[in-house]
Amino acid sequence: MNTAEEIKQLVREKYGEIAEQSKETNAASCCGVGGCSTVDYTIMSEDYSATDGYVADADLGLGCGIPTEFAQIEQGNVVLDLGAGAGNDAFVARALVGSKGKVIGVDMTEAMVEKARINNDTLGFNNVEFRLGEIEKLPVGAGIIDVVISNCVLNLVPDKRKAFAEIFRVMKPGGHFSVSDIILKGNLPEGIRSAAEMYAGCVSGAIELDEYLSIINEAGFVNVSVPKDRKITIPVDILSNYLSSDEIAEFNSSGNQIASVTVYGEKPSDGNNPMKVQTDEPCCGDGCCS
């Protein structure tokens, strides 16, 4: 079993490698980055080409949805993009917030942050910035974000509870998030769960939808919904790297699914987390101390 730090290092290495390639190069190889022995990172992505603010050079085909589609971003908002990559969703968000808003992208892979900054310099936006950092410890102040977006990244985070706690922390009271992610419906075969390449390709880090939503609710978010749910079909030539032909047949007939979902949630307008237990202050009221 890989430790959390080992998983993060694996993701950094894989996505650092992808950052050096174009979307076309990545998609042209039979199974994505690195050739036929690894996973296709583009089979889960959606077409952004008709989306306002789309920048082709920032699109590496690594997403599994279009989170801005349900993000209700308004002019003047401050938007945080988690796992911003080369800047694709950040630039789409910038078109929505306009010149009076701001977009902050965070990514833990140095090569991705550098690529996003180069893209931003080319575009000349002065209200978009990219920061190096981890989602479980965001380099962002508390209570300053109107909208959080993320695209096929949170499932890669080892500690999802800490990730959603951080999202709650940085969000303004009454703010909201829209994240696209990979989840499971039923049991994923062990061969896929244990494959390092599939982890960095957004599959093995996925959890059951019910557990995913439970973590969000525990973080204190309200009005949580799933406005988009799309089944992901992994080609047999990719599955055959991890499963036998009998295991593939069993998986395909089981009814279990890998799915892309977009999840929406809100931080209460009073800013309170009803699930948080206060442990940092002594109990000194009447009747509570023995």
Tens of pLDDT, residue by residue over 145-180, are 999 999 989 988 989 999 999 999 999 999 999 999
DSSP secondary-structure letter at 1?
A: -
Over range 87-115, report the average pLDDT. 96
Domains along the sequence of the chain with CATH: 45-189+203-234+254-266 (3.40.50.150)
Over range 93-103, report the average pLDDT. 97
Is 31 exposed, middle or buried, given 0-12, 13-18 or 19+ CB atoms closer than 10 A?
A: buried
* pLDDT at position 289: 40
How many angstroms separate the CA atoms of 248 and 244, rounded?
Answer: 6
Residue of higher predicted confidence among 171 and 64:
171
Over range 261-273, report the average pLDDT. 92
Q: What digits encode the pLDDT tens for the residues 196-224?
A: 666 566 676 889 999 999 999 999 999 99
* pLDDT at position 272: 84
Q: What amino acid is encoded at 263 in this protein?
A: V
Is 127 exposed, middle or buried, given 0-12, 13-18 or 19+ CB atoms closer than 10 A?
A: middle
Is the confidence at residue 126, as pLDDT, over 90? yes
Query: Chain-wide mean pLDDT for the chain?
Result: 83
How many angstroms separate the CA atoms of 12 and 200, rounded?
Answer: 9
Whether 204 and 12 have beta carbons less than 8 Å apart is answered as no
* pLDDT at position 125: 96
Instruction: Pinpoint the alpha helices (H) of the chain.
Output: 4-19, 23-28, 88-97, 110-123, 160-170, 190-193, 196-200, 209-218, 236-239, 245-254
Q: Which two tokens stand for residue 268?
A: 């209460």
